[in-house]
Structure 1
Amino acid sequence: MNHRQAEQTVQTVRRRILEILKRRKSATVGELARQLEMAPVSVRYHLDILQGDNLIQVSKVRREGNVGRPKQLYSLTKEANDVFPDNFAPLTAGLVAQLKKSLPPEQVEAAFCSLARDMAETFLEEDDLEEADLEVRLDQVTDFLNERGYLARWEKETHAEWQSPAQGDSYLLHTFNCPYAGVSSEHRELCHMDLSLMRDLVGRTCCRLDSLAEDGHCCTYRIQTGETAQERPVPAVEIPLIG
């Protein structure tokens, strides 16, 4: 391995550490070592570098029963958010603000629904998934979202009290990064657009359980297997010229 390859490997490890902490919110050295399949001493070396770059922080948490030394938990700093793509937040904020000034609320919502539908159609054109098993489709959906900076993953939800057998299985789709970070908290239309997007991508009814824009750890969507999304007419929206 030459110097350049070694440097790329080092950067890949640190990037993976940041992504793990982004997904998990916090982790110990041991937890990171197991996930990275590395020795704890090697993980500590990379953590020290990341801490020196002000990308991670460490806190001490008492163990259960106050037995033994407190464990150290590593988490991301606010500065670490700059490592993840935000898709030109200032430009997005300006465009959304201008759109809201130019159109009534119902047309703004229709415009974002139309945009979500167009994005989903791009996905459906790339992969023939209309008849695919839902779990296969969720694999493809997470790949599609990750290419666009969402840091997505899905899991099958354990049976909950609110479920009845007739409802079938349910799944949770998590997105740990917001492409509109710093914008969606002020312009919630973007959150509504993402909900429409998830619904159109998975082809099932979705409800949002948690939101990054509301200080959640991630955006989480519940998907019911027995509730197929119905085709929604998207009203035509005429965007006025801005002069």
Structure 2
Amino acid sequence: MADRTRTRLLNALKSSGPQTAADLAMGLDVTSVAVRQHLDGLLSEDLVAFEDIKGSVGRPKRLWELTAKGHQQFPDNHSNLVLGLLSGLNDIFGQEGLDKLISHREARSRQAYDQALNGVSSLAERVQLLADLRSQEGYMAEVETDGGGFNLIENHCSICAAATACQGFCRSELNLFKEVLGPGVLVERSEHQLSGDRRCVYRIEPRN
């Protein structure tokens, strides 16, 4: 049970960002005492850190978040292997070879996404299905409704190592979302993990 609570704590901080111990306890349906005990243990392992935020009144609010080591607890699709393969591909085939690989990956993903979204006309349903597909691929994706549009949020980048080495992967994924959702939909990246943000967020809304 203790290991399970520990894993759930890490997942909660990964998917929702900095939170207080009370918020974590409420979200996980466990006691605040238990949460604080686990947080102390994670702190000693350098998996989490905290910051005390002063408010206008009362005691400071302590927000807990994952450290870089904490983020590394999540799978990254065998980053060392990926980096080695990309380096070798570049050495042998150059940038043209990398571009062909990215285009091939994009085409395969487009085929799979198009098949899954076939016959679904509602933009809300299409975005949710896209998020479900991305979660299956390890991106911990979710959808938030915001005004007349949606935010597709990816809390984890399962190809972060590859994207860091070759940002063409990021450009390809943005282009993929645009093509899958169609010309009547505006898709823009509003947060980007490789630019220093905690997550990647795509703003999606119908074109006027």
TM range (shorter): 0.7 to 0.9
CA distance in 2, matches of 1:99, 1:200: 27
Secondary structure of the residue that 1:177 maps to in structure 2? coil
TM-score (norm. length: structure 1)? 0.74
| Partner in structure 2 of residue 39 of structure 1 | 31
Aligned partner of 1:137 among 126, 140, 144: 126
**For residue 7 of structure 2, what is the amino acid of its counterpart?**
R
Matches of 1:44 and 1:15, distance apart in 2: 14
Query: Which residue, 49, 53, 64 being the options, matches 1:61?
Result: 53
Q: Distance in 2 between matches of 1:157 and 1:102?
A: 46
Within 5 Å, which residues of 2 pair with 1:11-90?
A: 11-63=3-55, 65=56, 67-90=57-80
The answer to whether the 8 A contact 1:185-1:214 is kept is no
Indicate the larger mover: 16-25 or 200-209.
200-209
Residues 113/172 of structure 1: CA separation in 2 closer, same or farther (3 Å cut): farther
- Structure 1 residue runs without a partner (length 5+): 1-6, 159-168, 228-243
Deviation, 1:170, is 2.4
Alignment gaps of 5+ in structure 2: none
Is the partner of 2:63 in helix, strand or coil?
Answer: strand
Of 99, 104, 108 in structure 2, the residue corresponding to residue 118 of structure 1 is 108
Higher helix share goes to which structure?
2
CA RMSD in angstroms comes to: 2.4
Distance in 2, matches of 1:16 and 1:219, equals 21
Greater Cα offset, 144-153 or 103-112: 103-112
Aligned-partner Cα distance in 1 for 2:172–2:87: 15
Report the structure number with the largest CA radius of gyration: 1
- Deviation, 1:212, is 0.5
Instruction: Give the equivalent residue in structure 1 for 2:176.
Output: 197
* Corresponding letter in the other structure for 2:189: R
> Contact 1:117–1:200 (CA<8 Å) still a contact in 2?
no
Partner of residue 88 from structure 2, selected from 65, 85, 98: 98
